[in-house]
Structure formats: structure tokens, C-alpha cells
Chains A and B, each alone.
Chain A
């Protein structure tokens, strides 16, 4: 998919979203990390939190933050799994996780119905 097509898709997805204003996010893990994650997030929580059984996931090739000064709409966008995924943000999240995402070397996202439920931000030294 070309850059042009990617952003055309974004335009289309954003148009639809801002008509309704609803949202969600997430990413895949290395085998060793997967096991560590399973130890920390116990089984029920893992499914509930990561939605591993139901959600799709992928590494984002792009991440955007939309911010309207004329309304309280703030949206995180991630292009992953050949589509744009999104999540509505609060102002606190713009100051928090959105900044972390912007600094990350890699972003993995999990989503369902294109709503991002979970984000994993990677820093690789």
C-alpha cells in the first residue's frame, strides 16, 4: 500500500469516525516477552486486558494524534494490519500515553472493530 493510499484511507476512516465520534488500540510480542507477560498478567486478566482471544494486533507503521481546538475531540490513530485503528483520548492521555507513543521506536496495538484497546510502546536501545 502506497503512502498516498494509506492517507486516503485515513481520510476516509476519520470522516466516518468524526461523524459518530467513538473509538479504541494495541501490538505483538517476542516469544520471551509473551511468556513474561503471561506471568505478570494472570490468565483471566490477560484475555480481558489484551483481549488476546478475540482481538487483532499488529505493529503500527504510523501513529497520529488528532486534536480539535474547537471541541474536546482528541484521537489516537495507528495504521496497523493494513488499516487505520483509532481511540478517543482525554487531555490527560494526550499529555501521557500519546507523548510516550510519539517517542517510541515501535508501537504495537491490539484492536477490535478498529477500536484500539491496548498499546505497547517500544524503546530499543
Chain B
């Protein structure tokens, strides 16, 4: 479908005809050529995901999806005990998300969607501080994680975060990444990955589980099929009404609203597109069951490290260097390794005692052990 044919007027008619409830507008994305728009996507689905896409008919033009399955009703109450709405842009009177970014002409949506969710999770779970400034390097995740501007997948991004973490934006700015398109971070990036190495991640296609984790943990990552009319979205609850499948895209999910029957998402197309939150555009709401979000792709949920906590040690280690003064006590508790530098006297004292214990309870702050209890 060319741009001329895809007029705003025709789009408004289609929206009205289908009883959809969103507003189209000329946006920075709708003004691009079709090939330029596709560069703003970048999710390469797995064969399993593509199989579901085909099964649901999502790969067909919208006009031909007359028998389109609508697996989720417009109002889809979640599991018992869940709130009817959560929006991490306004939770407890505070915004826990980070500002809208722009991936530009590179299929880097997976890095942007993943980092957007991770940044918010760090503010919510790790720092417990909505005002904390968190800006991580999408370029590092993409170019050092094995992705490229030709596209990537959330499984790979999450695996990389689990193995390595990601440094701050200043270490490897996105503009630098776009010019080199290779892994060229700052030399000390390993020392700048503070708390970003995730203990675990998972993917679910169970809607109750998605909502539960959105409430209990925070923002998640998802994939979606993108149709031509999405580039003209300016607000409301989106559902595709016109156009063809343009490709697949990754975004962060920052909430849901059962009353409107929609997911609330953060995109990476800058602020010249999308719905405004306060003053800033770049967000969108999408109807449950549309574009494969909650059926073909599901959501990726990341655990993030906690700064403070306590738990039972599963493993306990004592590192002892005979050539330097390094003596370190390690405990694996709360799904991560906690450590404490100890003295020779502590090696002979508490370390020995812990080795003799039947159980060891550990408290930590910022990864460092602050308390141990040896239990026999």
C-alpha cells in the first residue's frame, strides 16, 4: 500500500467502520518512506513464533483478516486479587519509567525494548527510587550482545544480560554505536555494569501470569506484528484496521488496563509519534489479543538484583590467596553471589565456624554481606 493510498482520511473511515477507538495523525514515522519505516522495527521472530503468527493469520493484510481471531475480549479481567489497572508511569504518584528514546534508522528495537524494561525494573526493584536517573547503553546490548541493525530477538538480549549485564549510556552512546555498528564500548565497561546483570528471565504466554508479573515485578518486554496504520497512531486504544504486515517489533510493556482492555506500552520511535503521557509522546495502548502481543510472542520477564535482602546460603566459599592479602567470603543466597572481604583473623574465626554450620543465614546490601548467622 503506497502512501497516497494510505491517506489519513481513509484511515479514519476504517477506524470508524471497525468501531476502533484510536486517533490517527501525521507522525514522524508516517512521513517516512516504507523502507525507512521498516528500519525502525527489528524483531526477528523464532520459527515457533512465526508458526503462531501464521496460525492466527497475522501475516495477512488487515482487510483480509475478516476471520481474524480475537482471543482476548476487550475487557479481560485478570486473576483474582490483581488490580484492574497498573501503569508504572503513574504508580504511587510517581513515574518509574525512563524517558522515550529513538532507535533511529536501525533495527535495534529489541535492545531498546529490553533496556527500557530493565531501566524501569532497576528503579522499581533494585533502587526503589523513582527519581533515580538510569540510562543504560542500548548500543552495548545490541552490538556486543550479538545483534545488529538487521534485527535480533529478546531471548538473545536476555541471555546477554544474564551473562554480562550492560554498562551506562555514556560508556557506549547509541550515536557512537550507529556510526561504528560494532562492539566498541569504553574500556572499563565491565566495571560499569552496576546491578544490570540479571539473575534470571522467563517468557510466558499466559495472560494472567503477564499481569501478575507486571504488578508484582514491573515492566516486561514483548513482541508484536506491525501493520501500516500503526505508524500513524497518535493516541487511544490501538487495534489494526488497515494496511499490511510491515514487520515485527519489540517494545516494553509498562502496564495494563482492564477497563479499556489494553496493554500500555513504551515504544522507541522518539516523541514525534504515539500517545502523550504528561508532555511526552512515544507511548501507546494496544487492545488485548491484537498484533500477537499476548499470544504469538507473550512477555519476557526479568528478575533484577536486589540491593538489600536476606536469605539462606546454598553455597558458601572462602577464597584465600597465598600470594596476596585477598581473603573473600562468598555466599550464594537470594539467587546471586554475595561477598565480603575478610581478614586472617576472620578466616580462622567466622569462616571456620560457617564451614561447620548446618545452615547459614545471610543478609546483604548492595551485593556485600552485612550479617551472617551460623545455625547448627
Contact = CB atoms under 8 A, between A and B. Distances in A.
Interface string B341-354: 00011011001101
Contacts of A35: 163-164, 197
Given A38-B190, A125-B360, A48 B324 contact: yes
Contact of A120 (B318, B332, B358, B360): B318
Interface string A35-53: 1111111110100111000
A32 B199 CA distance: 9
B317 interface: yes
Given A97-B318, A119-B319, A125-B315, A40 B347 contact: no
A25 interface: yes
A99 interface: yes
Interface string A61-101: 00000000000000000000000000100001101110110
Interface string B300-330: 0000000000001111111111111010101
B328 A100 contact: no
B322 A122 contact: no
A103 B164 contact: no
A123 interface: yes
Interface in A23-38: 24-25, 32-33, 35-38
Contact of B348 (A38, A39, A96, A117): A96
A122 B313 contact: no
Interface string B162-201: 0110000000000000000000000000110100010000
B337 interface: yes
Contacts of B190: 38-39, 43
B159 to A, nearest CB: 12
Given A39-B190, A42-B191, A96-B347, A119 B320 contact: yes
B316 A118 contact: no
A10 interface: no
A96 to B, nearest CB: 3
Interface residues of A, number: 37
B339 interface: yes
Contacts of A120: 317-320
Instruction: Pick from A32, A33, A92, A93 the residue with the most CB of B within 10 Å.
Output: A32
A87 B337 contact: no
Instruction: Pick from A41, A93, A125 the residue with the most CB of B within 10 Å.
Output: A125
Contacts of B322: 24-25, 87, 116-119
B355 interface: yes
A124 interface: yes
Contacts of A50: 321
Instruction: Pick from B163, B312, B332, B357 the residue with the most CB of A within 10 Å.
Output: B332
A118 B320 contact: yes
A125 B314 contact: yes
A5 B356 CA distance: 31
Interface string B21-41: 000000000000000000000
6 contacts: A25-B322, A36-B330, A49-B324, A100-B355, A123-B355, A125-B312
Interface of B: 163-164, 190-191, 193, 197, 312-324, 326, 328, 330, 332, 336-337, 339, 344-345, 347-348, 351-352, 354-360
Given A104-B355, A119-B322, A122-B316, 8 more contacts: A33-B337, A39-B193, A96-B345, A100-B320, A103-B356, A117-B322, A123-B315, A125-B358
